[in-house]
Amino acid sequence: MEAKDKVRGESFCELASESEQVKKAEQPGKLALKYHPYYEGKIEVVSKVPVRTLDDFAIWYTPGVAEPCEEIMKNVELVFEYTNRGNLVAVVSDGTRVLGLGNIGPEAALPVMEGKCLLFKYLGGVDAVPIVLRSRDADHFIEVVKSLEPSFGGINLEDIEKPKCFYILDKLRKEMNIPVWHDDQQGTAAVEVAALINALKFTGRKMHQVKIALIGAGAASQAIARIIFKAGVNPKNVIVVDSKGILHPDRTDVKDSDPYKWELCLITNGEGRSGGIREALKGADVCIATSRPGPGVIKKEWIKEMADNPIVFACANPVPEIWPWEAKEAGAKIVATGRSDFPNQVNNSLAFPGIFRGALDVRAITITDEMCLAAAYELAKVAEDRGLREDSILPTMDDWEVYPREAVAVALKAIEQGVARIKPSKDELMERAFTMIKRARSQVEVLMKSGHIKPVPEN
């Protein structure tokens, strides 16, 4: 099947056959199995200071290192100036909800956490360390992460099962004095909101009037709901659907099992609808789906029952809830997915590197929802500056100026909200973000050219 719409000079999705698409989709996994043992992982520690002779170790280590230690002991804030703590993030997981793989355990989760650290560095200039914990107890997990605080400028929680992930994030944000962030919640929400801002703009809709069906009620959807409400969406105009149907106040099965979802039962669905996905989509302007892999979770005929020129974000991985060409054939004006091989990829990697860059550059004590929203607005503005099209409502990771711009927006919002330890100027923030990100990319380029990063083996 081939859609009629043209995208970047090609068809919306060129599919010679389903088997060829399956083969293409399997290729990254086959190469990953080959490359991971070849490189023995993806990250390593590299010195950032010169070592001219071994005598330099008297400066970088003993006896010289005692002097900065004593200064930090007198003023603990100096740790951010005398060490790398201010640019260091821990990527922490228990391996209980990894990608689409589920509960695979901490060791099996480590390749994902390493990959996250690589993205932190290359896209945001942020040093990151993967930490996987053999801990299934939420309170024990919290205590371990809290004990790590003196070493890090921020914590990125990753791939933790719900509802435990909500509890862990809320408690750590209250009890730690550095940013704690759960990318599956806040990162997804920031990019989804950026996409929504531009999709509404392109189709001539207003945020406070739009009717939205949220398909899925997990960590991502709950965070999306929270951020879109802050962006101006009326909760009564939102209908949320979980695996058992539409959320409403009579869903007593939710009341005692998930307090976060129960709140959505109380404040959304102003029309009092019941039923499932089809009933939620009727007359909706927007569908935002972060549920289970498709295809077929959302059907073409249901898209036809939405409002005119509807917006469809089908973001399940690895296969969206509905194929984008099917949504387009059913009348969708704008379609986004989580995949890089379709237009309008909604990708967390557009958010977390820049958001952390900004938070770290002002030594923020937290990352607020308003900081995430500031990032979303800037992401949307970058795409708007480039020119909005129905197949281009978001920047891509190739648009690397996204990250310093996003960092500055986040940092300025942190200063405005009083959660920043230091208050550089806008120009100072832009210069630092630009320098740190450019340096990270240049390092990889230099190491590749010199052969210190081995060439990719031939397929």
Active site residues: 61, 116
Name the E strands within 16-114. 88-93
Segment holding 213, helix H or strand E: strand 212-215
Q: CA-to-CA distance for 412 and 355, rounded, in angstroms?
A: 11
d(CA 241, CA 399): 34
* Inter-helix orientation angle 369-386/352-361, to 10°: 120
Query: Mind giving me the DSSP string for 320-355?
Result: -SS-HHHHHHTT-SEEEES-TTSSSB--GGGTHHHH
Q: Would you call 63 exposed, middle or buried from its count of C-beta atoms within 10 A (0-12, 13-18, 19+)?
A: exposed
**Token pair for 232:** 């101006």
Please identify which residue in the block is written with the tokens 């190491």: 447
Q: How far is CA 162 from CA 86, 159, 258, 294, in A?
A: 30, 9, 9, 21
The owner of tokens 């029952």 is: 305
Q: What is the 3-state secondary structure (H, E, C) of 412-441?
A: HHHHHHCCECCCCCHHHHHHHHHHHHHHHH
- Contact status, residue 181 vs residue 364, Cβ threshold 8 Å: no
- Outline where DSSP puts E strands in 43-100: 88-93
Q: In this structure, what DSSP letter does residue 90 have?
A: E
Provide the residue type at 116 as one letter: K
* DSSP three-state, residue 257: coil
The single residue listed with the structure tokens 């890090």 is 152
Are the C-beta atoms of residues 357 and 344 closer than 8 Å to each other? Answer: no
Count other C-beta atoms under 10 Å from residue 44's C-beta. Answer: 8
Handedness of CA 236, 225, 313, 25 (dihedral sign): negative
Which single residue is written with the structure tokens 């009564």? 236
Are the C-beta atoms of residues 392 and 384 closer than 8 Å to each other? no
